[in-house]
Amino acid sequence: MLNDTDARFLRIAYDEAKAGYDEGGCPIGSVLARGDTLVSQGRNQRVQKGDPIAHGEMDALRKAGRQKSYRDTTLYTSLSPCMMCTGTIIQFGIPRVVIGENTTFGGNEDLLRERGVEVLIADDPDCIALMTRFIEEKPELWNEDIAEE
């Protein structure tokens, strides 16, 4: 169950995803927070910047700049993290991840949990609807994003 802080930051991640969709990109947004304080927010910018690793989580982490530690942070993401973003979460020692949805893309929740990360899945209907719409409208772009043929 999400608390009020989780719901607020997940909504910001969704708003980032929607902004990415409106720009013609992949609708995946993310937020890095320390308690109830927003550290950074970002969105998938692979299309907008021509950067193959500019996933939503990576954009939020890049915008956060250098941090002495991530051990007191939560990463919010509108979509379950891919292997690259999962690896970064593990590498940085981020202890908690709140996922908007994993219906349209089953990421790596089990690997995160195996590495001691607390994972909450919100099953957010807005996140599900936005990704479903995007995948139906632009399957080739979605397949490129997840490196599928």
Beta carbons of 61 and 74 less than 8 angstroms apart: no
Of the residues 16, 23, 57, 149, which is catalytic? 57
32 CA to centre of own chain: 10
Question: Does the active-site annotation cover 57?
Answer: yes
Tell me the helices (H) and strands (E) count for the chain, helix number first.
7, 5
Cβ-count burial of 68 within 10 angstroms (0-12 exposed, 13-18 middle, 19+ buried)? Answer: exposed
Beta carbons of 47 and 65 less than 8 angstroms apart: no
* Active-site residue set: 57
